[in-house]
Amino acid sequence: MILIILIYNYNLVRHLLCSTAAILWTNKGILILCFCKFVILLMSFPHLKPKHTNVVFLKTHKTAGTTVQNMLFRFCERNGLTMALPSWRCDHQFCYPQFFSSQFVHPNTLPANMISNHMRFNENELKRLMPYNTKYITILREPASTFESLFTYYSAHAEAFRRVPGGSLEAFLADPLRYYQRGGGNDMYARNTLTFDLGGDKDRPSTDVAYAKAFVEEVERVFSLVMISEYFDESLVLLRHLLSWDLEDILYVKLNMRTERSKKSLSPGLREKIRAWNSIDTHLYDYFNASFWVKLSKLGLDYVAKEVSLLQQAQERLMNSCFNGTLPVPLKASEIKNKELRPWQPNENVDILGYELPSNISSEAKRRCLKYILPEVPYTTKLLYSQIRQRFRN
Ligand SMILES: Nc1ncnc2c1ncn2[C@@H]1O[C@H](COP(=O)(O)OS(=O)(=O)O)[C@@H](OP(=O)(O)O)[C@H]1O
């Protein structure tokens, strides 16, 4: 009993001691009563549970994954945890688009608590690498918006997109198979990218509904939480509950956004064409969007709304302390003086926005706030170096 109490946090110990210690030792019946009270307390105050610290976050493409990853990087740093990071030869991703292998992990970032850089999901290899009680989390975005983002972002990288006259999304969708070839350069960005990232077969025909259904079941079996990009804050509420984290653990600044100029508007007809071309992703999204709302309802929609409002108030306080009381102004890379804070720009037709900190905030605020706006690539490198240094110190 004492052991169990000790592994829970101070507040709970204090509460238990105050209310029950006096009667704890009087007889065995009361001991059982104490245990029941302990269980009820844990159920009614999930935040009193210890924080869950072993997490696989499968970062899918163009779904707000960088914002989640940044949150996880900061969580690891604050709590002295280890984030498994790619080895040098894999760049800042785990040798994507190959299936993930434990060989792709930098040895100085093992054993790990978390892993979150882009990879193609491979359950067996991750199971070998991560602690037994690891929670698996991922994020999906509505397939038409995801594809529009992919199409612009990778217009110079994916062979299928490069072939389209004038880089026209309409032309591509009028006859995708004219431009897309299975096995063509970077074809994973051009069809069912979410399915591919999750380890599935992106080229199954849309008529193979049985495959799509089986794949959904597979994802549901492995992942404890599938976040939904359109409901990002609600997703964070579910994440916080799943992992018993504090409000401050889920604060974020929105990263990797495009300028309005870089976006194409989608007519309803075009949306439908994208969904048909990415039919397995559509199946996945529709299923997990529906089950997401079931999860929220179980928690209570009013309760979730209250939690979202608390999160947004905390976000506002963060913005006040980091950006002098205003919302951070997203800047084009060329407008950001500190080169480290410039997000990667895939081609000249797309502007990926970043941020800079005001020069007149305290050095403490600078140190704390910088991490929120550090783009994925420099943050991955920084974290790798700091974990290596830590390893050699110990
Ligand atoms: N908090 C939050 N809520 C909703 N949407 C958000 C959020 N943070 C980032 N974003 C949008 O996510 C897109 C970038 O996704 P990723 O970071 O996953 O891209 S990447 O694959 O790592 O390059 C990118 O979408 P597009 O602007 O449409 O490209 C971002 O604007």
The per-residue pLDDT for range 89-119, each reduced to its tens digit, is 999 999 999 999 999 999 999 999 999 999 9
Neighbours of 111 (CB within 10 A): 9
Ligand 1 centroid to Cα of residue 65, in Å, is: 7
In the prediction, which pLDDT does 257 show? Answer: 96
Residues 36, 43 contacting (CB under 8 angstroms): no
What range does the domain containing 201 cover?
53-393
Ligand 1 centroid to Cα of residue 236, in Å, is: 15
Q: Give the helix, strand, coil percentages of the chain, each rounded to 5.
A: 60, 5, 35
According to DSSP, residue 352 is labeled B
In the prediction, which pLDDT does 325 show? Answer: 76
Question: How confident is the model over 381-385, as a mean pLDDT?
Answer: 97
Residues 385 and 343 in one domain: yes
CA nearest neighbour of 216 among 199, 232, 229: 199
* Cα separation, 109 vs 115, whole angstroms: 10
Residues 225 and 374 in one domain: yes
Lowest-pLDDT choice from 18-22, 168-172, 214-218, 285-289: 18-22
Ligand 1 centroid to Cα of residue 285, in Å, is: 16
Question: How confident is the model over 62-69, as a mean pLDDT?
Answer: 98
- For ligand 1, mutation pick of 60, 63, 153 (most atoms within 8 Å of CB): 63
Ligand 1 atom closest to the CA of 69, numbered from 1 = 17
What is the tally of structural domains in the chain? 2
Ligand 1 centroid to Cα of residue 358, in Å, is: 24
In the prediction, which pLDDT does 161 show? Answer: 97
- For ligand 1, mutation pick of 142, 236, 256 (most atoms within 8 Å of CB): 256
Residues 217 and 315 in one domain: yes
CA nearest neighbour of 127 among 119, 135, 116: 135
- For ligand 1, mutation pick of 228, 257, 266, 327 (most atoms within 8 Å of CB): 257
Residues 209 and 241 in one domain: yes
Neighbours of 317 (CB within 10 A): 12
CA nearest neighbour of 106 among 392, 305, 387: 387
Angle at 66 (CA atoms; ends 287, 370), nearest 5 degrees: 150
Ligand 1 centroid to Cα of residue 258, in Å, is: 8
Residues 362 and 314 in one domain: yes
Q: Is the dihedral of CA 340, 72, 330, 63 positive or negative?
A: positive
Residues 26 and 79 in one domain: no
Angle at 116 (CA atoms; ends 110, 117), nearest 5 degrees: 95
pLDDT tens column, 19-29 = 443 344 444 44
Residues 212, 280 contacting (CB under 8 angstroms): yes
In the prediction, which pLDDT does 349 show? Answer: 85
Residues 75 and 162 in one domain: yes
Ligand 1 atom closest to the CA of 258, numbered from 1 = 27
Ligand 1 centroid to Cα of residue 351, in Å, is: 13
Question: Which residue's alpha carbon is at the smallest distance from atom 6 of ligand 1?
Answer: 64
* Chain mean pLDDT for the chain: 90
Ligand 1 centroid to Cα of residue 68, in Å, is: 10
Residue 42 binned pLDDT confidence (cut-offs 50, 70, 90): low
Between 129 and 361, the more confident residue is 129
Residues 129 and 19 in one domain: no
Between 382 and 13, the more confident residue is 382
pLDDT tens column, 206-244 = 999 999 999 999 999 999 999 999 999 999 999 999 999
Tokens of 234: 């609600």
Residue 245 binned pLDDT confidence (cut-offs 50, 70, 90): very high
| Interface pTM, i.e. ipTM | 0.99
Q: 């290899």: which residue's tokens?
A: 125
139: domain CATH number is 3.40.50
Pocket lining for ligand 1, CB < 6 angstroms = 61-67, 149, 229, 232, 254-258
Question: How confident is the model over 166-175, as a mean pLDDT?
Answer: 96
In the prediction, which pLDDT does 392 show? Answer: 87
pLDDT tens column, 337-356 = 999 999 999 988 899 999 99
pLDDT tens column, 254-283 = 999 999 999 999 999 999 999 999 999 999
Residue 37 binned pLDDT confidence (cut-offs 50, 70, 90): low
The highest-confidence range among 31-35, 212-216, 321-325, by mean pLDDT, is: 212-216
The highest-confidence range among 2-16, 47-61, 325-339, 374-388, by mean pLDDT, is: 374-388
Between 163 and 5, the more confident residue is 163
In the prediction, which pLDDT does 18 show? Answer: 36
Ligand 1 atom closest to the CA of 152, numbered from 1 = 29
In the prediction, which pLDDT does 15 show? Answer: 39
Residues 178 and 111 in one domain: yes
* Cα separation, 108 vs 106, whole angstroms: 6
Residues 11 and 95 in one domain: no
Residues 164 and 38 in one domain: no
Residue 327 binned pLDDT confidence (cut-offs 50, 70, 90): confident
Ligand 1 atom closest to the CA of 66, numbered from 1 = 17
Residue 360 binned pLDDT confidence (cut-offs 50, 70, 90): confident
Ligand 1 atom closest to the CA of 376, numbered from 1 = 22
Residues 23 and 134 in one domain: no
Question: How confident is the model over 168-188, as a mean pLDDT?
Answer: 97
Structure pTM?
0.89
In the prediction, which pLDDT does 47 show? Answer: 52
In the prediction, which pLDDT does 14 show? Answer: 37
Question: How confident is the model over 246-254, as a mean pLDDT?
Answer: 97
In the prediction, which pLDDT does 393 show? Answer: 84
